[in-house]
């Protein structure tokens, strides 16, 4: 029935247990209903947002393969 393997119940369980999905749903709800999240949470999210690009750059750098450069 489902091409990705498993039953509908298993797939629904995996989707509903995905933390990013819940974060997006909560973020949309907070935005729609204008719920303030507080200054502390706002600061923490700001710090995490500022660190995102450097962490991505480091992880990309660590994943590079330099095997081809030895021939040059």
- For residue 66, what pLDDT is reported? 77
- Report CA 53 to chain centroid distance, whole Å: 13
The residue with tokens 């629904």 is 12
Q: Is residue 31 part of a domain?
A: yes
Instruction: Residue count of the chain, please give it.
Output: 72
Q: Is residue 3 part of a domain?
A: no
Q: Is residue 2 part of a domain?
A: no
- Quote the domain boundaries for residue 15: 8-71
- Report CA 54 to chain centroid distance, whole Å: 15
pLDDT tens digit sequence for 30-54: 999 999 989 999 999 999 999 999 9
Q: Is residue 1 part of a domain?
A: no
């Amino acid at each position: 029935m489902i091409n990705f393997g498993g039953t509908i119940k298993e797939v629904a369980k995996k989707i509903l247990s995905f933390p990013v999905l819940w974060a997006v749903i909560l973020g949309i709800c907070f935005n729609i209903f204008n719920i303030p999240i507080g200054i502390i949470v706002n600061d923490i999210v700001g710090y995490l947002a500022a660190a995102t690009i450097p962490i991505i750059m480091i992880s990309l750098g660590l994943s590079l393969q330099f095997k081809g450069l030895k021939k040059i």
